[in-house]
Amino acid sequence: MNCLLTLALPAASILPLRLAPRRWAAPALVLVALLDLLLTLLIVGDGSRMAEPTYFAGRYFVLDATSTLFLVLVNLVFFGIAVYILNRVRTDAALEEQASTMAVLALAFVACMNAAVLSNHLVLMWAFIEGTTLAAAPMVAYGERGAHRAAWRYLLYSTVSLSLSFLGLLCLAQSAHLRGVELSFFVDELPKGLAVHGDVLQRLGLSLLLFGFGSKLGLAPLYGWLPETYDFAPPSVTAMLAAIQFNASIAAVFRVFQVFRTDDVSFVAQELLVMGALSLLVAAVQIMATHNYKRLIAYACVSSSGVIAIGLAVGRTAAYGVVLYVVSNAFVKALLFLTAGRLKSIYGTKDVAALTGVIKHMPFAGLLFTVGTFALLGFPPFGSFMAEMLILSGIVQSGHLLVFTILCTMLTIIFVATGRAIFPMLWGAPTNEQRPRESVLSISPKIVFVIALVSLGVYTPEPAVRLLRLVAASIGGS
Amino acid sequence: MNAPALFLVAVVLPVFFASTRTVSVWLGVQALALAWNVAAEHGIDSVHAALSVVEILVVRGAIATRLLRHVKRPEEAVDHLLPSNLFAWILGISLTALAFEFAATTAHAQTAFALGGVGATVVMALLLLSFNTAGIAQLFALLLMENAALLFESTLPAPWSMWVHGALTCVYVLTVWVGTRLVEGQHQEPHLDLPRQVL
């Protein structure tokens, strides 16, 4: 079955959804998300064919291990977010108008996402990632007061960082041109056009590519857009950005690593190490200072990007850990931001000091937030714990002891600062005795995310392990 | 004067001398220069080149500039793109010179000028982003970057396929559309009665 159906379905649903009555928007979004997920699972099958890539549409799109992993992840998380939107609309009819516009934009967003992860052409992939930004920016503007400014800054930062990536592509093309080679930008053909020991332009191109895509991940120094956007955007949009769009940028970084299996990777490893360490430092300081639980999770996302960058820089031994970390993080972020949205809708505040006894007042939401926080901090039995251990072990094996020390120190600071802010909010005496209703629809997608997280840490089915291993091997894993 | 030179003039002149009200005109001139460049480099005999020229003129030259012309902004927001101070000017001129110097050392003679133009456009865009916080000026800077990418294509031996062209065109026109809405939204937001609950 053609994998392009996964992007054609949401794209084709945009117009009918735009014309349909408002009250149908949220249920239709869930239906399209469910169909897209089922279609993805049908195409992917048991993953046995993933070792050999299959090309579509004149080689512009590819279904290989990397695209399979991100396609499943994106559509699974998107389905969970669609169910969250449906539940919010069911509990507050005033949100129908918002949901109508947001559903259209969300479908455009997920169509671009699927296209980006399936893309076999770097320029096309760049355009689709930019497409996700352009679909997400108006959704960010639907947030609370100040969201328009945050949306504008998000668009600005994203476009600038993606423009830097584009400049990187141009430098690569120019470098090849000077050697008399024509670069096609198809991921599978690109390595043939690159020099094993790159010249200044090739190295500059690679640096700019990773700097641009890295900034889209929220890596320092261009991280400023992330906490502001995640804070002001509606929770469902924050979850889309943190758990879905983040993966498009990760897929792009993986593609770059798959192309550059030469000396140049060790050259950019230093760049990634610096960006990763800087991101951890920034996140640690900001988490200590913030009193806003949504912003706190946003800074934790910056630290996660730092861990991923360091893991990628270390390479070989940490590669499997990085892939596992990326997958776990998608579920953690979706779980936390959706639950944070629920808390904000009930309490009307994002200030941690104003909240107490959440776990008694809202047992399900409180418990899910606790579980999400533990998973975020890398506790067992979650996949993030296993992933962090693998990355740390990879760092030690590769002899980067200074990096190991920095990473452990920063993670400890983040652990203490997050716990100090979040746990008093969860435990203690509730300020309000009357319990709000928590529907099955509200908690079911989050329960699925928790099951996935535990499964990644305790028992991962063989096809999933095989897929993770293939992706890890494609980015240089041993 | 050749096409890259006209493009460079349409980038550098507004940055140093124009006000935010005239950005759509300058983007129109840039589109004209880009279309001329494609026609000069690849001719308009092939369907691909002819479509590229039409696409640039219609989308970048007409639709995008029309969208920009209708952006609502506060009455008092008539200011220069780059502030009139010596530091900004020296920085701008030095960075432009550096871009051409870099292009001269890293490219063949026939593509060096166009590549220098690409570099100069990118540094002008970054300069604008650093010195001007007005939404419309920042949007102009983003569009400069996207136009620079199209100019760069002319330095490649073969143009990109229509798929890639189509994707880049969509990105350009959507950047203008979304950007103008957000720029307007920023001005209107303080006066709006926003809903208490969000999705």
ipTM comes to: 0.90
pLDDT of residue A397: 92
The answer to whether residue A402 neighbours chain B at the CB level (below 8 Å) is no
Strands (E), B40-189: none
**pLDDT at B85 (0 to 100):** 83
Task: Give the three-class secondary structure for B19.
Answer: strand
Nearest to B182 among A58, A148, A237 (CB): A148
Give the CA count within 13 Å in the CB-facing half-sphere of B26: 23
B156/A92 touch (CB, cutoff 8 Å), yes or no: no
Closest approach of A235 to chain B, Cα-based (Å): 6
pTM over 0.90: yes
Average of per-residue pLDDT values in chain B: 86
Beta-ladder partners of A61: A56, A119
Interchain CB distance below 8 Å, A163 and B142: yes
Q: How far is CA A275 from CA A54, A145, B165, in A?
A: 34, 32, 33
User: What confidence tens digit (pLDDT) does each residue in B96-126 have?
Assistant: 999 888 888 777 776 788 888 998 999 999 9
Count of all residues that appear for chain A in the document: 478
Chain A CB contacts of B188 under 8 Å are 148
**CA distance, residue B178 to nearest chain A CA (Å):** 7
Contacts of B171 in chain A (CB under 8 A): 127, 130-131, 134
Give the integer Cα–Cα distance in Å for A333 and A338. 8
- Taking CB atoms and an 8 Å limit, are B197 and A137 in contact across chains? no
The pLDDT tens digits for A4-49 are 999 999 999 999 999 988 889 999 999 999 999 999 999 987 666 6
Q: Which of A86, A123, A186, A232 to mutate to test the interface with B (most CBs of B within 10 A)?
A: A123
Q: Is A159 on the interface with B (CB under 8 A)?
A: yes
Does the pLDDT at position B155 exceed 80?
no
Report phi then psi at A351, rounded to 5: -80, 125
Name the residue among B149, B178, B194 with its Cβ closest to that of A166: B149
- Could you list the mean pLDDT of each consecutive 10-residue stretch along chain A, which spans 478 residues? 89 93 92 96 76 89 94 96 93 86 96 96 93 96 88 93 87 84 86 81 88 90 92 95 95 90 71 92 95 94 95 88 96 96 90 89 92 93 94 92 94 94 87 79 91 93 92 88
CA of B11 vs chain A CAs: smallest distance (Å): 17
Cis peptide before A221 (omega within 30 of 0): yes
For A143-171, what is each residue's pLDDT tens digit? 888 899 999 999 999 999 988 888 888 88
Question: Which pLDDT score, from 0 to 100, does residue A46 have?
Answer: 62
Torsion angle of C-alpha atoms A392, A395, A400, A401, degrees rounded to 10: 30
pLDDT at A267: 74
Could you tell me the CA-to-CA distances from A34 to A4, A5, A10, A108 in Å, in that order? 16, 14, 11, 16
Residues B11-63 have pLDDT tens digits of: 999 998 988 888 999 999 999 999 998 888 877 778 888 888 999 999 999 99
- For residue A408, the distance in angstroms to the closest alpha carbon of chain B comes to 36
Select the residue of B115, B171, B199 nearest A95 (Cβ to Cβ). B199
| CA distance linking residue B149 with residue B132, whole number of Å | 22
Percent of chain B at pLDDT exceeding 70: 91
Instruction: Determine whether A389 is exposed, middle or buried from the number of CB atoms within 10 Å of its CB (0-12, 13-18, 19+).
Output: middle
Distance of residue A238 Cα from the nearest chain B Cα, in angstroms: 10
Q: Which of A102, A141, A145 sits opposite B199 (nearest CB)?
A: A102
Average pLDDT, chain A: 91
- What local confidence, expressed as pLDDT, does residue A219 receive? 92
Is A436 within 8 Å of chain B by CB? no
The pLDDT of residue A436: 82
Q: How far is CA A169 from the centre of its chain?
A: 23
The model's confidence at residue B75, banded by pLDDT at 50, 70 and 90, is low
Instruction: State how far the Cα of A43 lies from the Cα of A425, in Å rounded to an integer.
Output: 44
Distance from CA of A346 to the nearest CA of B (A): 10
- Give me Rg for the CA atoms of chain B: 18
Helix pair angle (A293-314, A246-259), 10° resolution: 10
Cβ-nearest to A141 among B157, B170, B182: B182
Instruction: Kindly tell me if the per-residue pLDDT of B88 is higher than 90.
Output: no
Smallest Cβ–Cβ distance between A134 and the set B156, B175, B183 belongs to B175
Number of A:B CB contacts under 8 A? 129
A170 CB-near residues (< 8 Å, 6+ apart): A205, B118, B149, B152
Local structure of residue B56 (DSSP, 8 states): I
Is A151 in Cβ contact with B185 (below 8 Å)? yes
What's A232's DSSP letter? H
